[in-house]
Amino acid sequence: MEMSQMTACGMKAAFGLFVCADCCMFFLIVWDGVNLCMLYYTKGCCHCECYHMNFSFQIASFGMLLVGTIIYGSKDPDKIGWAFWFCLTSALLCLIVGIMWCMTQQMKRFIKGPASGSLGGMNAGGFGGGLDTGMAGMTTL
């Protein structure tokens, strides 16, 4: 079977996006593994969470997987099979993992209390600095 030039170009673009998304996720796995090992061996001397980097990579991977799946499905609709549905499921799972990670980080900051670090004086913690800030509509504990 011979593909047309446009279909072949679309397939290359889709698989290029799949590879980029996989590289982002692999980098996140390695990064989180290194951070966990550093926390274990140094007993928590590094308090950097790299929140924005992790969430940005999750959302970028979701976007690349979704766009790659759309290109793959639109350029060769006759071959929509398990690979298409697998990639679409991967994109949705990547989005779900990103949202769950964001929610757990916000909950961790909420439980921890007031913000600490360089932004501590600016009420930069989760939910306006925690429970004891006396925000309007919230009771202080």
User: pLDDT tens for residues 53-103?
Assistant: 777 788 888 888 888 888 878 877 777 777 778 878 888 888 888 788 778
Name the pLDDT band for 106 (thresholds 50, 70, 90). Answer: confident
For 112, phi and psi rounded to 5 degrees?
-65, -35
pLDDT of residue 31: 81
pLDDT of residue 86: 80
Angle at which helices 5-42 and 51-75 pack, to 10 degrees? 160
Instruction: Report the distance separating Cα 51 and Cα 53, nearest Å.
Output: 6
Residue predicted with more confidence, 35 or 67: 67
Contact predicate 115/103, CB 8 Å: no
Mean pLDDT of the chain: 71
Residue predicted with more confidence, 40 or 139: 40
Domain boundaries, the chain: 9-112
